[in-house]
Amino acid sequence: MYRIQLQHKDFMVINKGPGLGMHDEGGEPGLVNRLRTETGLTLYPVHRLDKMTSGLVLLARTPEANRALSMAFAAREVSKQYLALSDRKPKKKQGWVKGDMEKGRGGSWMLARTQENPAISWFDSSPVREGLRLYRIKPQTGKTHQIRVALKSIGAPILGDDRYGGTIADRGYLHAWRLQFTLAGKAFDLVCPPDEGELFLLPELHTAIAGLSE
């Protein structure tokens, strides 16, 4: 369900598995409470991942670290990179996706044409094999379902993301791959390749990831 990626005196970095929520749901403990029980630590989630999304999650261990890291996220000083797969042909292969997020039905969101408080994402992509494309997304903001809506808006909903029209798959193919931040003057650059899901294990995928530029 999860693995501890890095232990630090001020924070922990977790590799969260797909299907695990951040918080308790339906009587089942979420990631945060599972970790608190296992480690006995007081932990503060600095950001969150959707239940279907796997990969890197940052949790502070002290109120001071939580404040500093939360401020860094709010100031867009933390770099996040995600990997996603889609089996649809996109309207464009790289570029910006910007727009306000509007609530739709049943907890879904839609990308609007307005730019009052927009969700902003940059992405590029690379072919994996016929009918399958890898997307790297660098969100500049942290709106709910931002990446999932952004890819849907370019005609490439994420595989397994049935909420946004993705083709049925063994999991939702979105993964928090890379996290870069600075705390107390020290820079951290963490990379976590996806390792759950049939298509994330394709040998061709690693070639596609390696082909992405910085």
| Residues with a known catalytic role | 50
Question: How far is residue 188 from each of residues 17, 62, 150, 153, measured CA to CA in Å?
Answer: 22, 18, 27, 32
> Which among 75, 155, 166, 77 is positioned nearest to 123, based on CA atoms?
155
- Strand, helix or coil at 115? coil
- For residues 55 and 200, the answer to whether their CB atoms sit within 8 Å is no
Which element (helix H / strand E) includes 180? strand 174-183
**CA 121, 181, 190, 54 torsion-angle sign:** negative
